[in-house]
A and B are shown apart, each in its own frame.
Chain A
């Protein structure tokens, strides 16, 4: 099988909007650092932007369709799961925005991080099970090879990267809410190390494909 409309890139608007949201995050950080806004306001703005990023990614996710040959034994179930994941992210993002707008300050961080972490973990687990569940190591290897050949790697990597980063941000939020700011700041180091390991693993894999 070969996909006919691989060349289309549905992610342009999503990409531009994400870029604007990332600029907002940087602007919030700079405003806080320069004393233009209070720390609480910056935190609230940060939480709202994170929720919006999740809404945006969730909306875009079902557009990243895999060729049917990569759907496994039950394509219907796989497609349904992907659509469900998209909807779940949109609803979670909306919920997180609402939490940062309407819930009292002391619970915002805890509630939004628990919700965000739970949903992203659930979807990651479901993806891993859907793609690799019940396969041997060699079957996984050949499946990854075919995936890299048949659909653009960049968009999938971008979405995975942003979701992975959001996962860590929510984990840092939770650590901040439970143990305090110093522990949350300390989590930056494992984030960088694990990211570097993941990135090098993916790069090596990609080089082998060529």
Chain B
């Protein structure tokens, strides 16, 4: 559970999980929603995988992620997003980008 708390305490990782609630996405599609380097995103994915909050699959050259949240973790994510663990530095997250735009890349 400690891993889950650690993973959910970061706004970027929470945003990744929120994105995956819509549909499974490739690493590239998810990265398009953030203004951070690929290595930083890879580190975030590693933390999420370590916490067992996402499942990853290789599809050709890309890696596709899908949610693996228990009901409790889902509730914690909602709680963290709404009440606490507010974003202190959101500059690296692009303000608004539709999933369709990200999917084209």
Contacts and interface: CB of A to CB of B under 8 A. Distances in A.
Interface string B42-79: 00000001001001111100011011111110100000
Interface residues of A, number: 24
B64 A62 contact: no
A75 B52 contact: no
Nearest to B55: A65
A2 B57 contact: yes
A2 B58 contact: yes
Contacts of A8: 52
A3 B71 contact: no
A76 interface: yes
- Tell me if A's interface is mostly helix, strand, loop or mixed: helix
B52 A63 contact: yes
B70 A68 contact: no
B52 A10 contact: yes
B24 interface: yes
Contacts of A83: 67, 69, 71, 74
A5 B24 contact: no
Interface residues of B, number: 20
B96 interface: no
A68 B64 contact: yes
A59 B70 contact: yes
B23 interface: yes
B100 interface: no
A65 B74 contact: no
Nearest to A77: B23
A3 B52 CA distance: 13
A79 B57 contact: no
Contacts of A76: 22-24
A60 interface: yes
A12 to B, nearest CB: 11
A140 to B, nearest CB: 23
A4 B52 CA distance: 12
Nearest to A6: B55
B57 A68 contact: yes
Interface string A67-110: 11100000110010001001100100000000000000000000
Contacts of A10: 52, 68, 70
Contacts of A79: 23-24, 66-67
A1 interface: yes
A116 interface: no
Contacts of A4: 49, 55-58, 63
15 contacts: A2-B57, A3-B57, A4-B56, A4-B63, A10-B52, A10-B68, A58-B71, A59-B71, A62-B68, A62-B74, A68-B59, A75-B23, A76-B22, A76-B24, A83-B74
Max count, chain A CB within 10 A of own CB: residue among B24, B56, B70: B70
